[in-house]
Amino acid sequence: MSRVLVIGCGGVASVAIQKCCQVSEVFTELGIASRTKSKCDALAEKLKSVSKTVVTTAQVDADDVNQLIALINSYKPDLVMNIALPYQDLTIMDACLACHVNYMDTANYEPENTDDPEWRAIYEKRCKEAGFSAYFDYSWQWAYRKKFEDAGLIALLGCGFDPGVTQAYCAYAKKHEFDRIDTIDILDCNGGDHGYKFATNFNPEVNLREVSAPGSYWENGHWVEIPAMSIKREYDFDEVGGKDMYLLHHEEIESIALNIPEVQRIRFFMTFGQSYLDHMRCLEDVGMLSTTPIMFEGKEIVPIKFLKALLPDPASLGPRTKGKTNIGCIFTGAKGGEEKTYYIYNVCDHEECYREVGSQAISYTTGVPAMCGALMLLTGKWNTVGVHTVEEFDPDPFLDALDKYGLPRRESHAPVLVD
């Protein structure tokens, strides 16, 4: 029996909400609150006839802490699931602390306005000290550790697939497969085809910022930064086939390096087709990925927001996307004195996801882990207070839940390694 408040009602949230409603013995009451209430109402209407979970809706501007506090105090949830955008992480964490409620999200904080001088000064100091220049990092949310510990509350960060399940795979490898892990390669392959020349699979603003940033990886205790898309490998993915993949900076590298400190090298690769890369480079070259407002015909516009308005809504890709995703981690290390390798991954079919929840696999592979993470917190399987990432908790019940609710694991004890 629990009462959960979900903030956001976009691609990922609508999958997470539908999955919560499939487990109505735990998620007995669900509040959905977002900027556009009509989207929440439409989803609640769809769920009324198919789930016992009692769903209610509300409007909220999650950038406004006072609005959030009023909403949380009126709904009185056991847990707030932040599935809005990374821009709202800190305001929602503040509101959860003020209302004494547990918190979770699917992506770490980044500011909406990267030109804000106050943020920029801290960011530039961090770039120099830490050695990577992505706009997002865990420092902002790790700064809440003591506040959550003192309050006896849990904040679970980044519980999607990557970050999220990939960290559970690392914790699982450490618990069951290795005494010592030497290297981790996280491989994110989307073999789906939506038929558009250019579209992003989740929020275009967040997605394009991530992939246009310099790449970086962790090696021997420090970051190595490289120009965007400058390290390319080919990999033959189970059920997808051969794909080009590129090394990116990704948020879970930072927390895995902290929590599994013996690992000598951690890299993250994502597959991209040539058409996607050509479009992205061109858009970047003409300034369309900029977050700095410009004046256009007497009106201020932010180029990347204008681009977002032109691109297909990721939610509309569902019915058009065919093919599969394959996301997982390859490990090298040793067990019982023997050197070994191990690969754990999930394959997810875009069309099956659409049949089940009306979304493509990118939203599905994020929304299902968000529901399973909430399940861990609500059933007390993960109960360490403080601010934590997924690899800090027992991976077994979480991976069992993923197996059961739509993202079953696959394993190989003799994987092809990435050079």
Contact set with ligand NDP (CB under 6 A): 8-13, 34-36, 39, 60-63, 83-86, 88, 106-107, 158, 160-164, 202-203, 206, 314, 366
Minimal distance, residue 186 CB to ligand NDP, in Å: 11
Residue of this chain nearest to ligand NDP (CB atom):
10
Residue 28 or 212: which CB sits closer to ligand NDP?
212
Minimal distance, residue 335 CB to ligand NDP, in Å: 29
Q: Dig out the tokens for 192 from the structure.
A: 């789906």
Minimal distance, residue 180 CB to ligand NDP, in Å: 27
Distance (Å, whole) CA 240 – CA 350: 12
- Burial of 141-167, coded b for 16+ CB within 10 Å and e otherwise, reads bbebeebbeebebbbbbbbbbbbbbbb
Residue 151 or 199: which CB sits closer to ligand NDP?
199
Which residues, at least 6 apart from 50, have a Cβ–Cβ distance to it below 8 Å?
21
CA angle at 233 for the pair 231 and 238, rounded to the nearest 5°: 145
Residue 151 or 249: which CB sits closer to ligand NDP?
249
Residue 150 or 403: which CB sits closer to ligand NDP?
403
DSSP 8-state class, residue 84? S
Residue 283 or 311: which CB sits closer to ligand NDP?
311
Closest by CA position to 126, among listed 112, 136, 113: 136
CA-based end-to-end distance of the chain: 49
Minimal distance, residue 17 CB to ligand NDP, in Å: 11
Q: Dig out the tokens for 206 from the structure.
A: 């967040």
The one-letter code for the residue type at 385 is V
Residue 11 or 395: which CB sits closer to ligand NDP?
11
In the chain, helix, strand, coil percent, each to 5? 40, 25, 30
Minimal distance, residue 329 CB to ligand NDP, in Å: 14
Minimal distance, residue 357 CB to ligand NDP, in Å: 13
CA–CA distances in Å: residue 371 to residues 28, 131, 316, 334, 407:
13, 34, 22, 33, 12
Query: H or E stretch including 412?
Result: strand 410-412
The one-letter code for the residue type at 41 is D
CA–CA distances in Å: residue 142 to residues 51, 86, 125, 285:
36, 14, 17, 35
Tell how far CA 361 is from the center of its chain. 13
Alpha helix positions (H), 100-250: 117-130, 139-142, 145-151, 165-172, 204-212
Minimal distance, residue 43 CB to ligand NDP, in Å: 10
The one-letter code for the residue type at 35 is R
Q: Dig out the tokens for 243 from the structure.
A: 């794909």
Residue 264 or 316: which CB sits closer to ligand NDP?
316
* Residue 162 near residue 241 (C-beta atoms within 8 A): no
Residue 161 or 237: which CB sits closer to ligand NDP?
161
Minimal distance, residue 67 CB to ligand NDP, in Å: 9
Q: Dig out the tokens for 233 from the structure.
A: 């490998």
Minimal distance, residue 156 CB to ligand NDP, in Å: 12
Minimal distance, residue 314 CB to ligand NDP, in Å: 6
Residue 185 or 332: which CB sits closer to ligand NDP?
185
User: What are φ and ψ of residue 117, in 5° steps?
Assistant: -60, -35
* Residue 382 near residue 173 (C-beta atoms within 8 A): no
Residue 86 or 328: which CB sits closer to ligand NDP?
86
Residue 83 or 344: which CB sits closer to ligand NDP?
83
Minimal distance, residue 179 CB to ligand NDP, in Å: 29
Q: Dig out the tokens for 316 from the structure.
A: 């509309």
